[in-house]
Amino acid sequence: MKKRIAIFISGRGSNMDAILRQAREGILREVCNVVLVFSNKPDAKGLETAKKAGVKTACIPSKGKKREDFDREVIEFLETYDVDYIVLAGYMRLLSPYFIQAYKQRIINIHPADTRAFQGVGGYEWAWEQGLKKTMVTVHYVDEGMDTGDIIEQRELDITDCSNLKDLEKKGLALEHVMFSDVLKKVFEK
Ligand code: GRF
């Protein structure tokens, strides 16, 4: 059975776009259907991209709402979609324990660093400022903490050839776009 997935975004949505392409005509075609792209930000650029791709989109603005109140609203909204997995692709809001419990081990995130070494926003900046020769991209299950959930897979990113942060981000995103779908495929196939 194909998994029903919702992709959560807050901004650009380049990872979402990569997943939509793989779900439409690539390696995710046989394993999942993207039933919804959801954003907590009305101006998220990725919403337009998803609409153009013909995917159902929805936005519930989170601004000014208490974490759990907002999450309850989102969970209620999601009910009709009967979602198997939630994929966080640049979703910039920490989920409440209430949300995590509702979708336990069914929420997957991509993080632009080794989650054991760096948590939170700005993984590529961190690697650059640390002067690292290589960093990691991590795909992991989401738990109650900030980037602390079980690691599903990590891939190394050699950054010795990057002469500035922009280069590094570009190289990192290129890896993310391939890796995220690869890992999702393995999870959804199980
Ligand atoms: C990516 O670097 C991802 O790893 C992080 O947020 C960024 C989102 O980029 N969680 P995009 O919206 O997918 O382009």
Which ligand 1 atom minimizes the distance to the CA of 14?
Answer: 14
Domain 3-112+139-154+176-189 class in CATH: alpha beta
| Residue owning the nearest CA to atom 9 of ligand 1 | 90
Q: Token pair of 136, please?
A: 């990691």
pLDDT confidence of 172, banded at 50, 70, 90? very high
**Angstrom distance (rounded) from CA 1 to CA 100:** 24
Q: 6 CB contacts (<8 Å, ≥6 apart)?
A: 34, 35, 36, 37, 38, 78, 81, 83, 85, 86, 87
Residue 116: its pLDDT value, please?
98
Please state, in angstroms and rounded to a whole number, the distance separating the CA atoms of residues 34 and 16.
Answer: 10
Inter-helix orientation angle 14-25/45-52, to 10°: 20
- Which pair of structure tokens corresponds to residue 51? 């609409």
Q: Which two tokens stand for residue 72?
A: 């309850």
pLDDT tens-digit series, residues 69-95: 999 999 999 999 999 999 999 999 999
Distance CA 33, CA 4 (A): 5
The pTM (predicted TM-score) of the whole model is: 0.98
Best residue among 94, 176, 180 to mutate for probing ligand 1's pocket (most ligand atoms within 8 Å of CB) is 176
pLDDT per residue as tens digits for the range 12-40: 999 999 999 999 999 999 999 999 999 99
DSSP assignment, residue 57? E
Distance 15 CA to ligand 1 centre (A): 6
111 a catalytic residue: yes
Q: What is the share, in percent, of the chain residues with pLDDT greater than 90?
A: 99
Tell me the pLDDT band of 68, cut-offs 50, 70 and 90: very high
Q: What is the pLDDT of residue 190?
A: 87
**Shortest CA distance to 20 belongs to which of 140, 190, 172, 184?**
184
- Ordered by start, the domain boundaries in the chain are 3-112+139-154+176-189
Q: Which is catalytic among the residues 5, 111, 112, 181?
A: 111
10 Å Cβ neighbour count for 178? 14
